[in-house]
Amino acid sequence: MTRHIDRQIGNLKEKIRRVGTVVEEAISKSISAVINRDVQLAQRVLANDEAIDRMEVEVEEECLKILALYQPVAADLRFVVAVLKINNDLERMGDLAKNIAKRVAQLEGAGPVDLPPEIRTMAMQAEEMVRECLAAVIDADPVLARRIREQDDVVDEARQKVRKRILAGIKEHPENVEVLLRVNSITKHIERIADMATNVAEDVIYMVEGDIVRHRPEE
């Protein structure tokens, strides 16, 4: 017999999937806007930010309703708690995509400053981590979630290389300091997206196994 809570859990799972899809699209577009210096694409990301905020509120309200009406326990409780945390992380990813898009718009009219090649590495890795963390949520896959945790170091290493290139660029071409600082800000936001994807992966591990791995080093 199907429990009433099962239908609510299914609805909640579909809602968080939709939030993830919209956030993933915003991240992909913002990163593409960076790589291609596409201001119009960046503006589209900015225009869609309110939709992400509305969806985040809807998911939170659904979680609170389930907690109040059904008082879930065990796996059901872990799922709802994890979705609350994942929902917050996804909304923060959406904000980071918005911040990246803002920086791209600010680069309009800037001089022809070449982007450090490591930005593409960072961006591709962060995008992959976001895709995989969402798949881990929908499939309740702790194995994939653990693999995502291991990928964060790739983004961190690329970020350090970008910082060194930017500092060198400022010394060699101080006239480009403003645009280079904006590029540095973009890479910081990309790094934070990867961190948020890692947080989601850790929430999946808790959701499925009840194991809290946040702040614990990868094995």
Which tokens sit at 136? 């881990």
**Nearest alpha carbon to residue 31 among 121, 106, 91:** 121
Residue 108 has a pLDDT of 72
Check pLDDT > 50 for residue 158. yes
In the block, which residue shows the tokens 């201001």?
39
**Burial of 130 per CB tally in 10 Å (0-12, 13-18, 19+):** buried
Mean pLDDT, rounded, for 93-119: 85
Cα Rg of the chain (Å, integer): 19
Which tokens sit at 169? 């660029």
Cβ proximity of 93 and 19 under 8 Å:
no
At 1, the pLDDT band (50, 70, 90 cuts) reads very low
Q: Which pTM value belongs to this model?
A: 0.92
Residue 178 has a pLDDT of 87
End-to-end CA distance of the chain: 40
Cβ proximity of 96 and 127 under 8 Å:
no
Give percent of the chain above pLDDT 90: 77
Mean pLDDT, rounded, for 5-25: 95
In the block, which residue shows the tokens 């326990």?
73
pLDDT, mean over the chain: 92
Check pLDDT > 60 for residue 129. yes
Residue 2 has a pLDDT of 55
- The single-letter code of the amino acid at 15 is K
At 91, the pLDDT band (50, 70, 90 cuts) reads very high
CA 78 to chain CA mean position, Å: 21
Query: Hey, what domains does the chain have and what are their CATH numbers?
Result: 4-209 (1.20.58.220)
Residue 72 has a pLDDT of 94
Helices and strands (H and E) in the chain: how many: 7, 0
